[in-house]
Amino acid sequence: MGTTTQEGLNSRCPYFLSYGATVLCFDDKNVQIILPRIKRRAITYGLAGGADYRACNIVYSGRGSRFSVCHREEPLGDVFL
């Protein structure tokens, strides 16, 4: 790779993600930068809109947190932590 700068990582990362499917956190701005250059299937998750799978309808309480797992805005099920 020859460099450890974020720019260097962003330029080489799609090469390493060219085999099989990859699962990426869409909340990371660098993932959003490299995602268009990944040639294989990419599955994204996170809190940000635009992720394939994300936590939605988040409710925080003194006893924990509750949210729905959504696939492209379609609720799949509820989680309580």
Would you give per-residue pLDDT tens digits along the chain (81 residues)?
Answer: 454 566 765 565 555 556 678 889 999 998 898 888 888 889 999 998 899 999 999 999 999 999 999 998 899 999 999
CB 44 within 8 A of CB 53: yes
CB 81 within 8 A of CB 65: yes
pTM above 0.75, yes or no: no
Secondary structure of the chain as H, E, C letters: CCCCCHHHHHHHHHHHCCCCCEEEECCCHHHHHHHHHCCCCEEEEECCCCCCEEEEEEEEECCEEEEEEEECCEEEEEEEC
Task: List the domain boundaries for the chain.
Answer: 6-80
